[in-house]
Amino acid sequence: MTMIVVVLGVLFGANSFAQSFEGVYQLEIENQEGISISRGTGFYVNSEINNKSYVVTSFHLLNSRLLEAAKIKITNMGKDIYLKIVTYDELNDVLVLYSSEIVDEPWSFGKNCNSKINVIGYHNTKLAAINVDGGLVDTDLEAVKKLSVYLSKGFSGAPLLNDQAQICGMVVLSSEQNASSIAVSGEMIKSVMTTIGKDLYSVREVRIILGVEKVVRTQEELERVVSNSVAVRQFVIGLAPVSKNEKFLLRNANNLIVDAYTDVSKLVVHQSKNIMVRNIKAERLMINESTNVTVTGCVFNSASQALLLKDSSNLYVKGNFFKNIDTGIVLKAVNIDEKALNTDNIFVSVPNSIKNI
């Protein structure tokens, strides 16, 4: 795979540069005091659902605790323009912004990223293009693509352009260690933009206070979260069951932290990986056919068998509290240090702290 990095102003000259790459901005996030807290790239694109165009960037540039207070600006034609948040999707790392003051011609979406793509983004304060022969590599998730090149921090939110100069994706994550980057597809961005005008902020205050990014009340909502997840970063959900009998099955999930606001009757983690279950008061928790799962800070005091670990690997069970139950932890076909389980967790009035079946 070939990569060519070009500082655009040097290659094209000022006039050609401004004409060819207008609509790609260095985006700056400020706190209430006007202090810059993060920078990235944003791009101006036609929404395809109305007659307006919007600036799109990566949600992670905006600390979720600053949704109400942050100021988001670009510089356009020598003028600072502050943008309004119109919609976002934390799971897929997409943030959509708007201002009526932008005068640039918007980009358009294309069908796909083919064998030749360009990534346009900011390296420090200079706009640069990275030309990659070979295009994007598919992953297990349709909306997620892998780019076999490391992109510097300022490229978060940078657009991917196909050979027709159309938007076909956006950079959301890059790993210097793995020499690779992750992008969400143009189709995913368009899907997020269909929510413009809808009320997405009804649980914002609760989410900000507890650090939870998505409140889940029913099994249907949980399945929707998992199906939309692109696992580009660790994402925090909070269970708030609509009734005390509501049961949750977390199936085929990746890279989630599961928290809870209220008691949970039963939670099953099945065929999942990179999961943390924390601070949950549950009658029963089962980890089945999963890997890289952490259970910590949970309370169990109302079931005969509280925590079942079955056919799973790389399990970390620490700092949990078991009280007034017959059996604390049940093990079946797992490789785990039982002595550590006894010392790393608290058992009060539990006749069988650990049981193998």
Write down the pLDDT at residue 209.
34
Is the distance from CB of 195 to CB of 87 less than 8 angstroms?
A: yes
Which of 48, 90, 51 shows the shortest CA–CA distance to 187?
48
Residue 61 contacts by C-beta under 8 Å, 6 or more apart in sequence? 27, 29, 38, 39, 40, 95, 156, 157
pLDDT in single tens digits along all 357 residues of the chain: 334 444 443 333 333 333 347 899 999 988 777 788 788 999 999 987 788 899 999 988 875 545 555 789 998 777 899 999 888 877 678 899 999 999 889 999 987 776 678 899 998 788 888 887 666 666 655 666 778 777 877 899 999 998 888 998 999 877 666 677 888 889 889 988 988 876 554 433 333 334 566 778 889 889 888 877 655 566 788 888 877 788 999 999 988 889 876 788 899 999 999 999 988 888 899 999 999 999 988 888 776 779 999 999 999 998 888 888 889 999 999 988 888 898 888 888 889 899 998
**pTM exceeds 0.85 for this model:** no
Is the distance from CB of 115 to CB of 137 less than 8 angstroms?
A: no
Is the distance from CB of 36 to CB of 29 less than 8 angstroms?
A: yes
Which of 293, 248, 250, 295 shows the shortest CA–CA distance to 274?
293
Domains of the chain and CATH, by start: 1-200 (2.40.10.120), 204-356 (2.160.20.10)
Residue 339 contacts by C-beta under 8 Å, 6 or more apart in sequence? none
Token digits of residue 49? 């659902």
Token digits of residue 9? 């102003």
Instruction: Report d(CA 287, CA 353) in Å as an integer.
Output: 17
Write down the pLDDT at residue 120.
92
Which of 192, 250, 222 shows the shortest CA–CA distance to 56?
192
**3-state SS record for 240-297:** CCCCCCCEEEEECCEEEEEEECCCEEEEEEECCEEEEEECCEEEEEEEECCEEEEEEC
- Residue written as token pair 């905006």: 62
Write down the pLDDT at residue 63.
58
Write down the pLDDT at residue 230.
57
Write down the pLDDT at residue 286.
96
